[in-house]
Amino acid sequence: MLSSEPFPGAGIRSALEAFIGETSMKGLVLILVPSQALAEQWALRLDRRGVDVEILRSASDALLLRSVAQVARPRGVIVATFARARHGQARTALANYRFDLLLYDGVTGAPPESLDQGGFLSAAKEIALVTGTSPF
């Protein structure tokens, strides 16, 4: 369940929220994070800005995402953990999209190429990395 508590801090993530909101109005954004808790935080913050956000929590979500990919070019934001995006139905579903923005949050010293196990880097128009492990 998403908490209604405000998140402390400003910084880079707050600046990215506005850019993500603008980009998602005309295209598709993928945010990859190390934990489900961080995925929930991104979703809540973007939802508060009126951004259409989907969290990829399960294989069922991935199957639904695959069916949407065949119907129309979607807009909005998809948030997933690194682990979810690398495996099974989620990886297959995400591979069907070309993202206008790919955001890796919580990257700790890994070069971008090592994160590209899903092949998302080569399919993204723009890429952003947010390093460190501190919460919002």
CA dist 61 and 80 (Å) reads 11
Q: Which CATH class is domain 11-131?
A: alpha beta
**Tens of pLDDT along the chain (136 residues)?**
444 444 444 577 788 888 899 888 988 899 988 899 999 999 999 999 999 999 988 888 877 877 765 556 678 999 998 888 887 888 888 887 888 888 888 766 554 555 555 566 555 565 565 655 444 4
Contact between 136 and 31 under an 8 Å Cβ cutoff? The reply is: no
**pTM for the structure as a whole:** 0.76
Query: Residue ranges of the domains in the chain?
Result: 11-131
What is the C-alpha separation between 31 and 35, in angstroms, rounded?
A: 12
H helices, E strands: number in the chain: 6, 5
